[in-house]
Amino acid sequence: MMPLRGNSFPLGATVQTGGVNFSVFSKGSEAVELLLFRYINDAGPDRVILMDRQVNRTYYYWHVFVPGIGAGQIYAYRARGPSKPRSGHRFDETKVLIDPYGRCIARPDAYNRGSLCGPGDTARCSMKSVVADVARYDWESDTPPNTPFARTIIYELHVGGFTRHPSSGVAPKLAGTYAGLVEKIPYLVDLGISAVELLPVFAFDAGDGPAGLGNYWGYSPISFFAPHPGYSSSGDPLGVLDEFRDMVKALHRAGIEVLLDVVYNHTAEGGHDGPTFSFRGLSNEEYYILKPDKVLYADYTGCGNTLNANEPVCRRMILDSLRYWVEEMHVDGFRFDLASILARDKNGLPMASPPVLWDIESDPVLANVKLIAEAWDAAGLYQVGKFVGDSWKEWNGRFRDDIRAFIKGDNGMARAVGYRLSGSPDIYQDKEREPEQSVNFITCHDGFTLNDLVSYNTKHNETNREENRDGSDFNLSWNCGVEGPSNDDEIERLRKRLIKNFLTMTMLAIGTPMFLMGDEVRRTQKGNNNAYCQDNEISWFDWTLVKTHGDIHRFVRQLIDMRKGRHIPSNRLNMTLNELLRLQPVVWHGVRLNAPNWSDESHSIAATLTSGPFRAQLMINSYWESLDFEILRDGGTWRRCIDTYLDPPDDISEWRNAPAVETDIYPVGPRSVVFLIGLPGNLGMGGK
């Protein structure tokens, strides 16, 4: 049967009655060919459909309806046009291009990133798109948890690294896959987190990294619609769709939300000498921000190029992608990598009112999903506290840095830490925002793990094969006296104490807490603070650590339980600790009541918080000697719920089992955190 005119909308490959409609945007091209392949490893297409400029083109959209084909059809494009970099055009009819709106990606055995960079036909070695019928899935009345931010606890997780270690216990076929993650949901439920934030799961170029290592993190997208096929246990290119949605459905049934770390700031095509996957060969000047000479790419990402996010076609693609992941894949929110780039115009200049950010902000499909911005970029644009819109939450890099510096013992940090613990009002005071505006974290995928933060003074990235030049030199870490692993019991005890301090301050601070996969069991990357290329045991979750560091694991579980407010006395409204603490202003102290010490030499902070009958007193000593703190006394009873100086099991207790504190002075050990919960005297020790 002959191909027909088709329609310009919807973009991508859409299964319809009797065949498939294809539509792709390509401004400046003189002709576009649709290539149909029988098998992914074929040296060339089985069928080539040259679209007629008069019949199959509307505006800059090339479209055709092909009868007799359906889901599973492998396809790609070629675009003919001028190869004039100085005019912004990089058309090359020898390059096979995937569909920017393709829902599935297939990779041939002969795929090689380098072969896509130079001249010559790429039909054999290019990735291709696969037609998918996304409506063919039974969600079984899937219901998103819709957890309020005030009750959200985020766990940043790498799909591959979570179960790829031999100790994971999942079947070898499922290791490092969406299905493998499903098998570990009971662990996540037991831990108590409410949301997983998945490192990039958009299809990415795993070969975009140092030779022999590749790209592990996934911040190298080739598609904004297709889930990464490398995380699928199925050999069927379409199997990844169902496996991803099975994972989402299973997490929802467990009450856990799914947030995606999304990369709308650059693509895997890199700089002017990079490979051609798709965008460069279809509409180079529309998809990318170019330098004035139009030959080179503006690089505000550190990855070779920058997506032209506020150009209308690119902007629409971002919105369509977000809607797709919400409507068809049922995800609950997004963390936007280098989100400040979305505020740049086609010349790279920051915009006061970026259209794409307001589109996201005001879109009704996205109105009930979580939007989190990494409010900075690699070129120095830092917008924490000033990111546009009302619905965005932000990774608070100031929280990370200030808490690290204070716990390490740096001078001049007391006042800043007071702000961080109370929701960072100094950062967010210009807007009327709820305290959960601040996503509080100490560690994330980028940088040291929590264990390494207290075990290394400097980065050790030699295995990245970049001569240790990569990764940040600004870590605010402290090795406690020995670089790397130590057999000294006192050093180990100190390191555990600092880890508990970091975790306690993150969970008790007003805002939305986030912590990194494996920090609850002291996962180490051996001092590597930029493990983007380490798809090996440096990055994987070693499940033997759950037992080896069971004391830290137990501490985190109980800390999360405390955060949720399950055992807080007289909590008739079933409020979380975060909700209780933000109801009334914090009363600050030093070692003496009502006498906070904000001087540069201060290494101690204390605070009391009262909400109805509920009271709490927090005491933090980052000094290297023990300090005696005064305790508020009004006839009530205090119970010691946390004291990080004490060994397990005394380091943390739920309120009902916590020991009473009868004295007016509490000695807080060196570099320790103490948290007391109390009730008025008439409830006493029997309060419920």
Asked if residues 662 and 639 have their Cβ atoms less than 8 Å apart, the reply is no
Active-site residue flag, 374: yes
Strand residue runs (E) in 87-127 = 89-90, 104-106
- 3-state secondary structure (DSSP) of residue 335: strand
CA 42 to chain centre: 37
Please report, for the chain, how many H helices and E strands are present, in that order.
Answer: 15, 27
CA distance linking residue 653 with residue 662, whole number of Å: 17
DSSP letter at 669 equals P
The active-site residue, picked from 33, 183, 261, 374, is 374
In residues, how long is the chain? 688
SS (H, E, C) 385-445: CCCCCCCCEEECHHHHHHHHHHHHCCCCCHHHHHHHHCCCHHHHCCCCCCHHHEEECCCCC
CA distance linking residue 90 with residue 96, whole number of Å: 13
Asked if residues 37 and 99 have their Cβ atoms less than 8 Å apart, the reply is no
The active-site residue, picked from 197, 243, 286, 337, is 337
The one-letter amino acid at 84 = K
Nearest CA to 152 among 440, 391, 446?
A: 440
| Cβ neighbours of 628 (radius 10 Å) | 13
**Residues 117, 119, 120, 123: is their CA dihedral positive or negative?**
positive
The one-letter amino acid at 437 = Q
Asked if residues 515 and 443 have their Cβ atoms less than 8 Å apart, the reply is yes
Active-site residue flag, 579: no
List active site positions: 337, 374
